[in-house]
Chains A and B, each alone.
Chain A
């Protein structure tokens, strides 16, 4: 599967939450190997935009199109969404969690070790998730990105709770993903240091 000819386009996108127009007339396009960094103040709609791209939130106006992907699957089914909630079950072990994702999201039967290795969690594989620290939980939820290959990564504040070494590790994984022709849309308050990333600033008009 080659994913380098992918392109993700949003045209004239609007989002309304609870009767309030969060943003309107938002457009961008992203090609394989490119990253888009969303910035803006709290409540500017960064998370809403990511959820719309993931197909988890209705699009009020405008459209989202993925060209060159699998035509039988929605853009959301070809994307990973890593949001504020980590979707972890305390009573499952680290490796069971990753195996479940591989089976459920990608129908891949075995082999969770590479993903754990990539996030530095292999030594914790048999530990129940309940005993992980906040940073380890975040790393485990990010292990999904590696465990199941999907061309689009939608990351909502991916560096929260991560230490410097883990941020560097994540950055390495993101660069690797872009190098393989994948796409990343990340909302962040930190400068991730991704060279050549496009930036989209949301919430330009500040409410008085």
Chain B
């Protein structure tokens, strides 16, 4: 079973690297949105520093959503999903493998790009460590919650937009606690408030690790049959 899991994960990573598109596109989108921001708001450094954590998180959420719709759809369209359900791996673990693959190819590159983009927005130095920690904790939740939306819309052509509408409300806790962690550090009252935000973000991430596979597998079953 472990071997099947790793085989699927390795296949997804290989496809993502070969096809490009996915992760690279998301990082590029992230970059564009963030570099547009100073142009839109104006070069007020104090204002930029104030909105930086929130804008970084919002852009990251949108960038992660951008790649979500192909999570199951490519496999659905070419019949691979039928095979994945007929393997020894429970469908829940298939969803886990796909979500982990999505995180490694999209979430992780976005987290790596975030500090570079923070410079563009004049993010205060002390806000970097908590923001990075929050993004590392929060991005897996984006992939796992997103898997539910992707699974629900798998049979729908152009289902990407619908998936985004379904999933975005569930990203709100990640956004609030993620921004909270960075804001607490940037606002000077570090310590308790930031730590609490990180802990709550961790709780959201852990819950999504359970709900994502269960909900995603149930949605796939309903859609396939």
Contact = CB atoms under 8 A, between A and B. Distances in A.
B85 A55 contact: yes
Contact of B80 (A76, A89, A107): A89
Q: Is the interface of A mostly helix, strand, loop or mixed?
A: loop
A83 interface: yes
A79 interface: yes
A103 B3 contact: yes
A56 interface: yes
Interface in B71-117: 77-80, 82-89
Contact of B82 (A77, A85, A89): A85
B14 A104 contact: no
Contact of B78 (A55, A85, A104): A85
Given A86-B78, A87-B78, A89-B15, A107 B3 contact: yes
Given A91-B18, A100-B7, A77 B83 contact: no
Contacts of B225: 56-58
A26 interface: no
Given A81-B82, A86-B78, A105-B88, A56 B224 contact: yes
Interface string A89-130: 101100010001101110101000000000000000000000
Interface in B2-28: 3-4, 6-8, 11, 14-15, 18-19
Contact of A83 (B7, B19, B82): B82
B36 interface: no
Contact of A77 (B6, B18, B79, B86): B86
Contacts of A192: none
Contacts of B3: 103, 107, 109
A73 interface: yes
B15 A87 contact: no
B41 interface: no
Contacts of A100: 7, 11
A30 interface: no
A87 to B, nearest CB: 4
B71 to A, nearest CB: 15
A54 interface: yes
Contact of B11 (A73, A77, A80, A92): A92
Contact of B86 (A54, A57, A89, A91): A54
B1 interface: yes
Contacts of A104: 4, 7-8, 11, 83-84, 87, 89
A91 to B, nearest CB: 4
Interface string A44-86: 0000000000111110000000000000010011011101111
A91 B82 contact: no
Nearest to B8: A104
A10 interface: no
A104 B84 CA distance: 8
Nearest to A84: B79
A189 B78 CA distance: 23
A77 B15 contact: no
A132 interface: no
B82 A107 contact: no
Contacts of B83: 81, 87, 101, 104-105, 144
Contacts of B1: 107
Contact of A55 (B4, B15, B80, B86): B86
B86 A76 contact: yes
Nearest to A78: B86
Given A87-B78, A100-B11, A103-B7, A56 B19 contact: no
Given A56-B86, A56-B225, 15 more contacts: A55-B86, A77-B87, A86-B78, A87-B80, A87-B82, A92-B11, A92-B18, A96-B14, A100-B7, A103-B3, A103-B6, A104-B7, A105-B83, A107-B3, A107-B88
